[in-house]
Amino acid sequence: MTPIETTTDRLMLRDRPWLLGIGVSAAFLIFVGITISEGVKGNEVTGPVIVTAMFAMVFAIFVRQEAVLFDRTTGEVIVRRSTIFGVTEQRHPLAGLRKAEAEVDTGHSKRRLTRPVLVYDKRPKVPLSEIFSSGSAAETAAKAINDWLRRKP
């Protein structure tokens, strides 16, 4: 997640996985072409149809835009996720928000996977992303949030 708006009253972070979306879409279209080509030739198309369906599922599950708005005027944190199935929105209070941190996936992955989470005084942690990812995006988001929280209006 990268900061796209930073003022005293508002902070907005957004994650748009352009590269993933374009890559999965290209693979999907290639296999659609292969399926049509094989079907026109009269060949078996079960394999290409299965692979095409798998790329469609990968797109539906993993390609999503996530945006988080911290707003001092309303006293809320709004987490908005957009997928091909629609938009979901969660609202959380700014009151009691202590900090943000990069949560590390404790699964069986050999790579270090993280996601940004909000840490409250008396509430459970709130993940800002449903998906853990490699790279420094979670740390960048946590730093931007913590810097904004320290800034007084």
Q: Tokens 């999965």 sit at which residue?
A: 24
Dihedral sign (CA 118, 119, 121, 123)? positive
28 pLDDT above the threshold of 90: no
The residues facing 67 across adjacent strands are 14, 80
Dihedral sign (CA 143, 144, 145, 147)? positive
Token output for 131: 């998906």
The pLDDT value recorded for residue 18 is 64
The pLDDT value recorded for residue 79 is 96
The pLDDT value recorded for residue 112 is 85
Q: What is the mean pLDDT of the chain?
A: 88
Dihedral sign (CA 92, 15, 65, 51)? negative
- Higher-confidence residue of 51 and 153: namely 51
- Helix H segments across the chain? 18-41, 46-62, 137-150
pLDDT in tens, 136-151: 889 999 999 999 999 8
39 pLDDT above the threshold of 80: yes
- The CA R_g of the chain, rounded to the nearest whole Å, is 20
